[in-house]
Structure 1
Amino acid sequence: MDMRLEVVVLPVSDVDRAKTFYEGLGWRLDADVAADDGFRVVQLTPPGSACSVIFGARVSSAAPGSAGGLHLVVEDIEAARAEVAAHGVDVGPVFHDAGGVFHHAGEEARVPGPDPRRTSYSSFASFSDPDGNGWVLQEITTRLPGR
């Protein structure tokens, strides 16, 4: 049986601010539904993604800004970083990990610049939404077998 990840719930403190931020990145607004009891759910989808994000009022009990390690896969890390920055977002510099595999948590073992060999899965840049939910751009040009 296939199991597809299609929605990630983001904990935010200000629904309208988060909606403005993600729409400002060019993400498609799929839904913005409010109920009379104060419940509200907003769903947006990044360009080219089959997975959406949902946030809202009374959607998550997690602390606002506590989501991290959310990866957006891109074909060109430098162009993707520039595009996100062009939308007014503070994006960190492109980096690769000293170990050459996957990046460590936080900023540990970050080496400035893209992976010198431009190995797929090995170059990154990071940014956060207004609440501090952490995103990572990851360059993938050639998929691992079976992906």
Structure 2
Amino acid sequence: MNSSKWQLPIDSLEETQRLAAYIGSQSWPGLVIALDGDLGAGKTTFSKALAAAIGVKEVVSSPTFTIIKEYEGNLPFYHMDVYRLSLEEADELGLDDYFYGHGVTVVEWASLIEELMPEQFLAIRLEYIDEQQRMVHMEAFGERYEQLLQYIQDWSLT
């Protein structure tokens, strides 16, 4: 499968939130984001900002122990944390119902269940540089996600 890659330096928490809000503003039903990164790199911060951008009014918190949290917004928001799951346990959750559903899905630690991810998605890895700086590595799988990645690149230049 072809993919497009790009990286973006981030210099503050606010920039992480702006990036996530922009991606949220471009969302569509069935959007899937595979979110990985170092502990403390900003995965949950990113998820909260994206959720707010699609109209989620509730407080979004890390689904570390509940695995999947569902929120209502302009689109349903499905927030997953698969860090503590084995591949077999994750497979039993019926993830395809979320991936191919009517909402936006963010999977934290998605690389742990790579085999279960849909064919098309946007992979985002937040690399911790220091207290303020991050490097955001993005890879698009599928035509629609390649277009989204191009939009992100164009947006970041403004």
Whether TM-score is above 0.5 comes out as no
Relative to the length of structure 1, the TM-score reads 0.28
The structure whose RCO (Cα within 8 Å, separation 6+) is larger is: 2
Query: As a proportion of its length, which structure holds more helix?
Result: 2
Relative to the length of structure 2, the TM-score reads 0.27
